[in-house]
Amino acid sequence: MASRLILRIQERTSRLTASEKKIAQVLLQNQSLIETHTATELAALAGVSKATTARFFRSLGYADFEEVRLQARDERNRREPYAGSESSYQPATLGRTISDHLELELRNMTRTFEEMRSDLLPEAAKMLTAAPRVWFLGFGDEEGMAAVGRSVFSRLRHSVHQLRGSGQSWAAELSMTGPRDVLVLLTFEPRPKVLRPLLAYARTTRMRIVTITDHAYAAQADRFSDVVLPCHVASYGVLPTHATMLSVLRLIAVAYLGQNTDAVGQRIATLSAIDEELDLF
């Protein structure tokens, strides 16, 4: 994995041209292409010229494509000696061993938390504390993640909701939002067309937005969000991974708890009393 290359791309995303961003997106989605493809093949995958590809790597500070490939091989070689200690037989999952799956998920989470700015979680927690209402929004698989977020934060504070567009009636739900409300957007590809007008409405209503997303979308999310929390979501291409997104969601909850210990304690006690009265547990 060409992690140093990816870091350079993330640092310089805002300065890349539209064509260069196409190459960046291809590499962010599949970092191993650096070792398996030539510069010409990368250009074809991105739909740009070979000259644009060469200019892209120079803008990242490399002399040429070969320097990028040597760096990627060096990173791989520094990891591979540890692979010899693994068992020769392991159950396969989706064509990969369990250790492959575990290594990839741990790498995603480790890189996400190592690169995360230390001021973002406290800022997100502060926004959630001041918000009259909190709304979670996700589409596709992320709709389930939004439901988890709503469930977690409902135990920590009042007025936590999920935007679903039930019965295709977004208007009924959006009419309940207002200034200083916080929208927590959880989004990976593919993103529906309705997302753009929903976000435009949220900004018009003066809602504040916290976005948890993949690195490829982070720069775009920064245009409409107050806080963006990028996740590394590398996978083997068959199924997307949401482990990092769930972990980041829990980190926000922990940060909120740290800023509102007494209030959260009182709410949990109240919920427990209601559960006991209703004899739910």
pLDDT tens, position by position, 17-47 = 999 999 988 888 887 788 888 888 899 999 9
Identify whether the C-beta of residue 275 lies closer than 8 Å to the C-beta of residue 281: yes
* Co-location of 21 and 142 in the same domain: no
SS3 129: helix
Angular region, 207: left φ>0, alpha ψ -120 to 50, beta rest: beta
8-17, 137-146, 170-179: the lowest-pLDDT one: 8-17
* The last residue of a domain, from among 41, 67, 87: 87
Q: DSSP letter string over 30-41?
A: -TTHHHHS-HHH
Residue 47 tokens read as 């739909």
The pTM assigned to this predicted structure is 0.66
At 88, is the pLDDT very low, low, confident or very high (cuts 50, 70, 90)? very low
pLDDT computed for residue 168 by the predictor: 62
In this predicted model, what pLDDT tens digit does every residue of 215-231 receive, in sequence order? 889 889 999 999 999 99
Distance of alpha carbon 52 from alpha carbon 33, whole angstroms: 17
At 81, is the pLDDT very low, low, confident or very high (cuts 50, 70, 90)? very low
At 115, is the pLDDT very low, low, confident or very high (cuts 50, 70, 90)? confident
* Co-location of 154 and 237 in the same domain: yes
At 73, is the pLDDT very low, low, confident or very high (cuts 50, 70, 90)? confident
Distance of alpha carbon 88 from alpha carbon 127, whole angstroms: 50
In this predicted model, what pLDDT tens digit does every residue of 258-269 receive, in sequence order? 999 999 999 999
Average pLDDT on 145-174 reads: 90
Give the total number of structural domains in the chain: 2
Residue 26 tokens read as 């291809």
- pLDDT greater than 50 at residue 135: yes
Instruction: Please name the amino acid found at residue 157.
Output: R
Whichever domain contains 35, its CATH number is: 1.10.10.10
CA distances from 185 to 63, 124, 176, 198, 200 (A): 39, 12, 17, 11, 13
Domain membership of residue 40 as a residue range: 3-87
Whichever domain contains 191, its CATH number is: 3.40.50.10490
Distance of alpha carbon 147 from alpha carbon 125, whole angstroms: 19
Average pLDDT on 154-170 reads: 87
- pLDDT greater than 60 at residue 78: no
Alpha helices, H only, the chain: 3-12, 18-29, 33-36, 39-46, 50-59, 65-79, 98-115, 120-130, 141-154, 170-174, 195-204, 215-221, 243-259, 261-278
Q: Which residues contact 93 (CB under 8 A, 6 or more apart)?
A: 101
Q: Is residue 13, in this structure, part of any structural domain at all?
A: yes
Pairing of β 92-93 and β 208-214: unpaired
At 97, is the pLDDT very low, low, confident or very high (cuts 50, 70, 90)? confident
* Co-location of 154 and 269 in the same domain: yes
* Co-location of 136 and 256 in the same domain: yes
Q: Is residue 226, in this structure, part of any structural domain at all?
A: yes
* Co-location of 126 and 72 in the same domain: no
- pLDDT greater than 50 at residue 182: yes
Residue 24 tokens read as 């960046």
